[in-house]
Amino acid sequence: MPVLRDLFIKLSEIKPINDASKQMGLRFGAQKVVGGITTEDAVKKIQELNNKGMSVTFDNLGEFITERSEANIEKDKIIEMIKASNQAKINAHLSVKLTQIGLNIDYDFALENIREIMKAAKEANMFVNLDMESYPKKVETMKILDELLKEYDNVGTVIQAYLFDSPQDVLKYKDVRLRIVKGAYKEPGNIAYQDKTDIDKSFFELIKAHLTNGTGFTSIATHDHNIINKVKAFVKENNISNDKFEFQMLYGFRTEYQHELVKEGYNFCVYLPYGPDWYAYFMRRIAERPQNINLVVKSVTTS
Ligand code: FAD
């Protein structure tokens, strides 16, 4: 399995394939995990999910951003989606990676872009989540979060359970809305747990800490039923009301389980990626869980 994982990570990093795939539309089963290509596609998909009792966090996919002009195009597309969501009165908020709007180019430039996005989001009464990327980007992402928190209350970020410094972050941001995840990047042993058991243990500890300290809302983002069952028991034992937290999963993964959680009365939010830049996201999802190769096999054998 590690060989397959490395292969799909490598495939996700090939820019010429990424560029070619932008012209193709959704292919190879990607439509199962990506919500569409255009803003209109995404709004329609969000309406469908809202009708099933789920809220949505949307992610306008954008990869390999190295030029200011590209970052500005991404920022404009995100603002277009915020405005379209507001007009359509859908239940959705934004998830954004700061590298998509220029963090790999220049810190101040990215800060300027996220400020423009925050202004549009505030006008639309929408929450903005700063997605967390690999560790070298974490310090800058947290610095930008601190800047934004001086002006806005509708912004939060992601805490990765594999990082040793996450318990301090959860305490520091106890009054901020946080998404807690296991962590998706390959980080070295001097800053992050490597062992699955340690990561799972840290994950549950962080969830409990954020649920019981401060006023910040907790988004528990996982497909792991063991963790979800533990959270269900913990909130029951500690009389934590359902409006303090939600479960989040990626669009297209464990869909039946998602519906079950909604039926059980939990707040549930679907992470919906969309846009022509679907290829690298799709490859990373297969790398994360090579069983997802079934999506490709099914699409090829049924087309
Ligand atoms: P895993 O450890 O992958 O799986 C645990 C167990 O759950 C498996 O053994 C299996 O029994 C079951 N399981 C998992 N997936 C499936 C499936 N598809 N079908 C059936 N059973 C399954 N990471 C970041 O670093 N930054 C972010 O900003 C970020 N945002 C995220 C947002 C959302 C909404 C989600 C869901 C994840 C996000 N992640 C992010 C990714 C996260 O860090 C993990 O890499 C990813 O979620 C895989 O871990 P897991 O908790 O789902 O469980």
Is residue 124 a contact partner of residue 181, using CB atoms and an 8 Å limit? no
Q: Is residue 166 part of a domain?
A: yes
Q: Mean pLDDT throughout 288-303?
A: 63
Q: What is the CATH number of the domain that holds 204?
A: 3.20.20.220
Residues 42-64 pLDDT 10s: 999 999 999 999 999 999 999 88
The distance of Cα 108 from the centroid of its chain, to the nearest Å, equals 23
Q: What are phi and psi of 131, to 5 degrees?
A: -65, 150
Question: 68 C-alpha to center of ligand 1: Å?
Answer: 32
Residue 88: name the closest of 34, 46, 137 by CA: 46
Domain that holds residue 171: 69-249
User: Residue 286 — very low, low, confident or very high, per pLDDT cuts 50/70/90?
Assistant: confident
**Domain-embedded: residue 229:** yes
Q: Whose CA is nearest to atom 50 of ligand 1?
A: 222
Asked whether residue 98 is domain-assigned, the answer is yes
Is residue 180 within 8 Å of residue 157, measured between CB atoms? no
Q: Is the pLDDT of residue 94 over 50?
A: yes
pLDDT in tens, 132-154: 999 999 999 999 999 999 999 99
The model's confidence at residue 194, banded by pLDDT at 50, 70 and 90, is very high
Domains identified in the chain, total number: 1
Residue 36: inside a domain: no
Looking at residues 275-299, what average pLDDT do you find? Answer: 79
Average pLDDT over residues 111-117: 98
Whole-angstrom distance, CA of residue 78 vs CA of residue 95: 10
- pTM score: 0.95
Q: Which residues does a 6 A CB cutoff place in the pocket of ligand 1? A: 131-132, 158, 160, 181-185, 221-224, 248-250, 253-254, 271, 288-289
In a domain, 9, yes or no: no
How remote is the CA of residue 124 from the centroid of ligand 1, in Å? 30
Question: In this structure, is residue 40 part of a structural domain?
Answer: no
User: What is the ipTM for the molecules in this complex?
Assistant: 0.98
Asked whether residue 15 is domain-assigned, the answer is no
Out of 59, 169, 177, 179, which one is annotated catalytic? 179
Residue 59 counted as domain residue: no
Per-residue confidence at 303, pLDDT binned at 50, 70, 90? very low
Ligand 1 centre distance from Cα of residue 37 (Å) = 24
**Choice among 131, 169, 200, 277 that is catalytic:** 131
Task: Determine the residue of 224, 268, 286 to mutate for testing ligand 1's pocket, defined as the one with the most ligand atoms within 8 A of the Cβ atom.
Answer: 224
pLDDT at 298 over 70: no
- Catalytic residue list contains 131: yes
Active site residue 179: yes
